[in-house]
Amino acid sequence: MKIPAIVFPTLVLLVGLGGCADSPSVGQPTYVDLTHPFDEHTIFWPTEEGFSLERAFHGITPGGYFYSANRFRTAEHGGTHLDAPIHFFKDRETVDEIPLERLIAPGVVVDVRAQCRQDPDYQVGIDDFGEWEERFGSRLEDVIVLLQTGFGDYWPDRARYLGTEETGPAALPKLHFPGLHPEAARWLVDHRRIRAIGLDTASIDYGQSKDFKTHVILAEHSIPIFENVARIDELPPRGFTILALPMKIKGGSGGPLRILARLDP
C-alpha cells in the first residue's frame, strides 16, 4: 500500500524525537550501581547456604517461540542487602513497612579506608563523623550515610573480605572486618538525624562483635541498614542521591537490595 506523502513529515519528526530521548546528552544525571550481582560467588554470612539459581526452562518451546525462566533461592541477609529494623528490635518495621523516605535521600560518603588499612577490626567512631562535618561544613542531617572501609575491594574473596574462608558456626570467631562503633551509632541517633546507613562490609557491627549493639541501637530507632554495598569508591563525598529499593518481602527482616547512586550534573 502506498503511504500518502502528507504522512512523511510526521514520521520523520517522531523518529527524531525518539533518537534524542535515547542518546546521552549534556546535563543528564549519571547512575552508579552499588549492588553486587547475586550468583555463585555472592558472599553470605558463614552460617547461611548462599544464593542458588535453578534453570527451569531455556530454549524454544513447542509453540515455536523462545522462553527462559528460572527459580532462585536465597537467605534474606546476604550479598548486597537491607536489614530492616525488625531484624534486631521487636515490633519495629519489616521490609515492606519501611517508608520510602528512608530509602531515597541525599547521600554522603565517610571515608575511613586509611584507618581500616591499619586495623581490619576498626570501628568507625564519633571523631570520624566530626571530621567529615568539619571538612565539608555540613551536618549529617536527613542523609543516607555510606561508610567506605575499602573492604569492597576484596569482593568476592571470602578470606580477605570476611577474614576467613570457613563456613558454619566455627567460622564466626574468625571474622575480621570493620564496622560502626556502638557509641558512634548512639551519637547518630541522639544528636543527628540520618535516614539510613550502609557500608562495604558484611555487617554494620565489626567482625568480632558478640552482642551486635550497633544493629540494636539503629534498629530501635528505625534506621535501615545496607550491607555489602559495592563501588562506594566511585562516589564523591557528597552531592548525590541514593535510591535503595529492597525486594518487598511482606513481614521480612531483610532482603536483597538494588541500591543506586544518582550523580546530578
Q: Which residues partner with 83 through β-bridges?
A: 225, 254
Per-domain boundaries in the chain:
30-40+75-263
pLDDT tens digits for range 56-97:
999 999 999 999 999 999 999 999 999 999 999 999 999 999
Q: Which residues partner with 58 through β-bridges?
A: 68
pLDDT tens digits for range 40-50:
999 999 999 99
- Cβ-contact 166, 172 below 8 angstroms: no
Q: Is the pLDDT of residue 14 over 70?
A: no
DSSP 24-45: --TT--EEEE--PPPSTT--B-
DSSP assignment, residue 263? E
Q: Which residues contact 240 (CB under 8 A, 6 or more apart)?
A: 32, 106, 107, 261, 262, 263, 264
Reduced to 3 states (helix: H, G, I; strand: E, B; else coil), residue 108 is: strand
How far is it, in rounded angstroms, from Cα 115 to Cα 73? 37
Report the topology of domain 30-40+75-263. Answer: Glucose Oxidase; domain 1 (3.50.30)
Cell numbers at 19, concatenated: 533518537
How far is it, in rounded angstroms, from Cα 206 to Cα 177? 6
- Cβ-contact 236, 110 below 8 angstroms: no
Q: Is the pLDDT of residue 190 over 70?
A: yes
Q: How confident is the model at residue 265 (pLDDT cuts 50, 70, 90)?
A: confident
pLDDT above 70 covers a percentage of the chain that reads 91
Nearest to 143, CA basis, from 77, 18, 239: 239
pLDDT tens digits for range 208-242:
999 999 999 999 999 999 999 999 999 999 999 99
Which residue type sits at 253? S
How far is it, in rounded angstroms, from Cα 200 to Cα 177? 10
Q: How confident is the model at residue 134 (pLDDT cuts 50, 70, 90)?
A: very high
Query: Hunting for cell 525486594 — which residue is that?
Result: 247
pTM value > 0.85 = yes
Reduced to 3 states (helix: H, G, I; strand: E, B; else coil), residue 83 is: strand
pLDDT tens digits for range 143-180:
999 999 999 999 999 999 999 999 999 999 999 999 99
